Amino acid sequence: MSGISRELASKIAHFARFPQTGVSLRQMVEFGQNPSQGTLLRGAQFLHDELPIRLAHRVVELDSLPENLNQMPSVLRVKRMYIDSFNELINFPKASERIREAVKEATVQGGRDRHLPGNQPNPAFQEPPRNSSSHWIPSIQHRYHYEVKPTELPVEVSEYNRSFVQALEKIKRRHDPVVTALAQGVVEYKQRMKTHKIDNHVQHFLDRFYLSRIGIRMLIGQQIELNQHQQQKHRQQNDYVGVICTHTRVKEVVQEAIDNARFICGDYYMLMNVPEIELHCPKELEFMYVPSHLHHMVFELLKNSLRAVVELCGDEADHYPTIKVVVAEGNEDITIKVSDEGGGIPRSAMEQVWTYMYTTAQTPMLDPEFDKSDFKAPLAGFGYGLPLSRLYARYFGGDLKLISMEGYGTDAYLHLSRLSDNEEPLA
């Protein structure tokens, strides 16, 4: 592992031998409801242990990429981000003995009054874990949750929590450009190899890497928000537990995605007459989810449909076929169907739409210092919209599927698990 000290490389290799610990959406909500400073400290201790393991797994994988992909400048930049964050976390001081003893005394022994619910296997990923280990890792119930009585704790507890959140915020900002930086690395790789495609090995690596990134940012974002739950954004929003909304109003989120997608479409093509989008959704439909994830997925699907319709009919057409969005409520899933009449996708190209870098738009070259997150980056030219949206769906046990009729249009089915008990797909 070049560019770092032998001691740091040894620590990364050591942490990468430990398996990662998955957390479900429901567990995060159970943990984060009305947390005390003591409970937040338990969360900080879990992340202090867990995040270096997850970061180390990704550094090792980035270092072992084939055919010089690991030597592309943008890939090296991403690896440096992960190494820096790993180094900061392992050097962040652990809670003092005084803090640990105070929280230990306030901990409900045996946890009889409250247990975290168990996890179910994620149906989207049935493969066995890639990284086996002889190291024993305590279960999520042991590591992530202890019932801490709401007693008065030393001020050092809240000060430690605050300093740890500041460290997490720095890491989160550092990793904002990871998606686009790695995409740029693949562009560099394709140019070096003089190829227009990426092979299955790289495709599977990107799936694993981006899934891991979703999980890391989810845990970090949740811990930051739980520590700030009495401030500003969610002060009066009792439906929120961190970044998770226990009563996500599907119609409101989907309508916002519709409005944003139509605005972007009109702006990009300079249209006076933007295609209409018709929404059919039960008004009171709610479920536990992360609204930003839901918005991102629906927005990407609508953006694709709008583009297909406009480019089929032309940007000077007097009339465009209406795009329809239908939301159905089942016992296990909430399903969102997006239907367009944009000409469809040839059957021979259906598998390619899930391939990173597959796009009919021109691929942009990013400035090396581009620092936007995946929610703000110009991903249209990278062909990342559908693959990433499917990963966001699968992360909490859902899925995304396409059925297309060449010469007519495409139906996208976004399945979202409403049970919220699927564990993270970790690799």
Helix residue ranges per DSSP H, 2-127: 6-16, 25-32, 37-63, 73-91, 97-106
- DSSP E strands: which ranges in 250-405? 277-280, 286-289, 323-329, 333-340, 399-405
Note if 303 is an active site residue. Answer: yes
* Residue tagged active-site, from 175, 190, 303, 415: 303
- For residues 205 and 70, what is the distance between their CA atoms, to the nearest angstrom? 12
What three-state secondary structure class fits 19?
coil
Which helix (H) or strand (E) segment holds residue 166: the answer is: helix 155-174
* Residue tagged active-site, from 296, 329, 372, 406: 296
The dihedral formed by the CA atoms of 287, 423, 295 and 218, expressed in degrees to the nearest 10? 120
Nearest one of 146, 129, 118, 151 to 27, comparing CA atoms: 118
- For residues 146 and 143, what is the distance between their CA atoms, to the nearest angstrom? 8
- DSSP E strands: which ranges in 228-383? 240-241, 244-249, 277-280, 286-289, 323-329, 333-340
- For residues 219 and 227, what is the distance between their CA atoms, to the nearest angstrom? 13
Q: Which amino acid is present at 151?
A: T
Cβ atoms within 10 A of the Cβ of 285, count? 17
Note if 115 is an active site residue. Answer: no
* Residue tagged active-site, from 304, 324, 341, 415: 304
- For residues 393 and 399, what is the distance between their CA atoms, to the nearest angstrom? 5
* Residue tagged active-site, from 300, 341, 423, 424: 300
Evaluate whether 326 touches 339 at the Cβ level (below 8 Å).
yes
Note if 283 is an active site residue. Answer: no
Strands 323-329 and 399-405: unpaired
Burial of 301 (0-12, 13-18, 19+ CB in 10 A): buried
Evaluate whether 411 touches 354 at the Cβ level (below 8 Å).
no
Note if 88 is an active site residue. Answer: no
Which residues belong to the active site?
Answer: 296, 300, 303-304
